[in-house]
Amino acid sequence: MITKMTKYDFLVFHAQYNDFLEKLRAVGVLHVATLEEGDANLELIREKIALQARIDKQIDTASALINAYNSTKDATPLTLAPAASLSIEDGLTLLEQFENKQAEAEALRQEVVAAEREQQRMAPWGNYSAPQLAHLAEAGFKIGFYTCASRIYNPEWEDTYNAFIINDSTNTTYFVTVTKEPIADIEAERFEMSQLGSKELQLAFDEAQARYADKQAAIRLFAVANLENLRRLTLQVGEVIDLDRVHINTRRAADDTVMILEGYCPTDMIEGLEAMLKEEGVYYETSEPANEDNVPIKLRNNAFTRLFEPLTGMYGMPNYNEYDPTPILGPFFLLFFALCMGDGGYGVILLLFGWAVKSGKVKIEMFDGLGSIIMVLGAATTAIGLLFGTAFGVSLTSLDWVPQACKNLMITGKFGDTGFDIQMVMALIIGVFHICLAMTVKAICFTQRDGFMNNLSNWGWLLLIVGGIATAILSMMQVLSPEATQYAIIGVGAISALGIYIFNNPKRNPLINIGAGLWDTYNMATGLLGDVLSYIRLYAIGLAGGRLGGAFNDIANMILGEDPGIGSWIGFIVIIIFAHVLNLALSALGAFVHPLRLTFVEYFKNVGYEGRGEKYAPLSRKVES
């Protein structure tokens, strides 16, 4: 749900304004409102925003260096030095030093690359000595180094030019000529020899590698000593940016002697703010936010729903006069993910992986903080996979050791006499329910916001679709007689038509309403069919993952054969592990993306969700003094 906000307007004398802002930062609960004219002034802080991005980039670099070292075998984990109480100027000096060290390391890396490239270029010539070649030249011998395609090498050159083949192991022939006079013309490409011999080239490469390794070690030590300082620096710059934003969004009155600031505070957190205001004697007014206000959004949910708040944030925070979609998004995303995975064995692996991430036994940066939600997704996948009778691509209903009582609980086979898989029909039923729920939420929320009379069209469509489905189900179950069914259809249709075609906008001409209703009918008829069919992906993706896992099992069993040896068992184990890890990764990717699409497209479209809210970000102290 969305936390209720209280709007504040402050009037502060300009000489006391900076001190007032420091007090606001200390309390740390007020979100400063963004004025429309504030956006044009963002150029004033753009340089600082770029600086913060530059610092964050170096923080990522330092973290990567430390994590890479800590992950090496037998490495003693590096312990970060605590942050020092440095000024922003001192922090920027450290940042510049770190960047300079990286630039030096990059130059050394280029030396390593160049030395390695030169070694590779000279490798076909084997071991040679540059000083000996120089002695031959001093003795009057003209030594030429040539390459040519092996098919055009002419053996007559050996007599004519005293040619010697050095290397012809590839399609290129490397050869030298030793003569007293320069060779005027030969159908081969002259090769530019290095000034260093093969041993010197190897020595240059080793030295470049050693210098680069030393520089990397120095950078790593610098990162260990100053990573926390860089983190502190980015917070300090963030504080400056926050204060600059406040000044940008401050209105001035009475010849700039009075500063007017507008902000929002969660209603359940106003005690500390108002205590400070009364103590400082600041004049302020409070009010309820108006519909046109850009009220910041702070979500407040239980522990389970909170796991899925980042998914809501990916699309966009709700507006203040909207509703928080997370309580509905969470359970359905969980169900959709489990259906797309559809394998109980993979669910167990996800559950264990999530536990390892949460407990810190597995440290992968991209999964930081996601251990709990991975565990929940794994548990749901395990339950759905076992319910559908699949584990690691194996059909549990075909195993003799699985109790028949468990098999009877599994949802498999066809749906009645239709010939369709029951899981596919379930996916469509879930889709219909999901869309009907979206339309119900839309009708209720829009009615609360705009009133019942302004939402007769939404209620008309809801009655038509939900009422039609309910009538059809009751008729098929023979709860309604044919006559009652006929009356129900006429009643639902007539009442719905009034809302859709006549009263969809009470302020408009009825003829215009009819035209708008016909247009809505076309969009609804074409859109709903496509939306419902989209939910087949819940069945198709799970089916594809299960079939692929089964195919991998068949391949592994073929390698194992009827009389397996050690080699067959090794091949079997390698294929089983590699194939199922690959299938698990692909299935998890699909199970994440497609439920998001069903939520962001099908559900949010039918629920009328806008998601243009601004996240609650109070002015606060990010760095302790």
pLDDT of residue 554: 87
* Rounded Cα distance, 301 and 311, in Å: 14
* CA gap 190, 513 in Å, rounded: 85
How large is the average pLDDT for residues 233-252? 89
Cβ(269)–Cβ(7) below 8 Å: no
For residue 75, give the nearest of 211, 218, 217 by alpha carbon. 217
95: closest CA among 52, 45, 47, 58? Answer: 58
Report percent pLDDT > 90 for the chain: 32
Q: 542-558 burial string, b = 16+ CB within 10 Å, else e?
A: bbbbbebbbebbeebee
**Least confident residue range of 216-220, 395-399, 525-529:** 525-529
The answer on pLDDT for 336 being more than 90 is yes
* DSSP secondary structure of 130-186: HHHHHHHHHTT-EEEEEEEEGGG--TTHHHHS-EEEEE-SSSEEEEEEEESS-----
CA–CA distance, 89 with 101 (Å, rounded to integer) = 19
Q: What is the mean pLDDT of the chain?
A: 87
Class of domain 1-35+249-298: alpha beta
Query: In angstroms, rounded to a whole number, what is the distance separating the alpha carbons of residues 539 and 532?
Result: 13
Query: What is the arithmetic mean of pLDDT over 350-374?
Result: 86
d(CA 135, CA 71) in angstroms, rounded, equals: 52
- More confident call, 506 vs 372: 372
Q: What mean pLDDT comes out for the span 227-234?
A: 92
Which of 341-345, 429-433, 495-499 shows the lowest per-residue confidence on average (mean pLDDT)?
495-499
Confidence of residue 76 (pLDDT cuts 50, 70, 90): confident
Task: Please state which of the ranges 179-188, 245-254, 587-596 shows the lowest mean pLDDT.
Answer: 179-188
Distance, in Å, from the CA atom of 488 to the CA atom of 481, rounded to the nearest integer, reads: 10
Residue scoring higher pLDDT (457 or 614) = 614
pLDDT band with cut points at 50, 70 and 90 for residue 3: very high
- What's the pLDDT score for residue 442? 87
Q: Look at residue 519 and give its three-state secondary structure.
A: helix
* pLDDT in the model for residue 38: 47
Taking only the tens place, the pLDDT of each residue in 138-168 is 888 888 999 999 989 999 999 888 999 999 8
Residue 504 has pLDDT above 80, yes or no: no
Identify which of 427, 368, 363 has the alpha carbon closest to the alpha carbon of residue 594: 427
**pLDDT at 213 (0 to 100):** 92
- d(CA 386, CA 409) in angstroms, rounded, equals 9
Q: How far apart are CA 273 and CA 30, in angstroms?
A: 8
User: Using one digit for the tens of pLDDT, what is the confidence trace for 580-589?
Assistant: 899 899 999 9
Higher-pLDDT residue of 522, 538: 538
CA 399/CA 391 separation, integer angstroms: 11
The predicted pLDDT at position 36 comes to 62
Alpha-carbon distance of 330 to 605, in angstroms, equals 17
Distance of CA 224 to the CA centre of its chain: 28
Kindly list the domain boundaries of the chain, sorted by start residue: 1-35+249-298, 36-118+201-238, 129-196, 303-420+536-607, 423-534
Tens of pLDDT along 24-70? 999 989 999 887 654 556 676 888 888 999 999 999 999 888 888 88
d(CA 263, CA 249): 10
| Amino acid, res. 205 | F
How far apart, in Å, are the Cα atoms of 315 and each of 1, 310, 409, 604, 612?
A: 16, 9, 38, 10, 9
Band the pLDDT of 331: cuts 50, 70, 90.
Answer: very high
Q: How far is CA 397 from CA 309, 401, 403, in A?
A: 38, 10, 9
Q: Where are the beta strands (DSSP E) in 150-289?
A: 163-167, 172-179, 189-190, 251-253, 258-266, 283-287
pLDDT over 80 (residue 345): yes
Q: What span, in angstroms and rounded, lies between the C-alpha atoms of 535 and 562?
A: 42
Indicate the pLDDT class of residue 198, thresholds 50, 70 and 90: confident
Q: How far apart are CA 588 and CA 593, in angstroms?
A: 9
Whether the per-residue pLDDT at 110 is higher than 90: the answer is: yes
Report the Cα–Cα distance between both ends of the chain, in Å, rounded. 35
Please tell me the predicted confidence (pLDDT) of residue 39: 52
- Residues 110 and 327: their CA atoms lie apart, in Å, by 53
**Angle made by CA atoms 259, 36, 313, in degrees to the nearest 5:** 110
Q: How far apart are CA 555 and CA 572, in angstroms?
A: 8
From 148-157, 401-410, 532-541, the region with the lowest mean pLDDT: 401-410
Q: Tokens 């719905």 — which residue?
A: 496
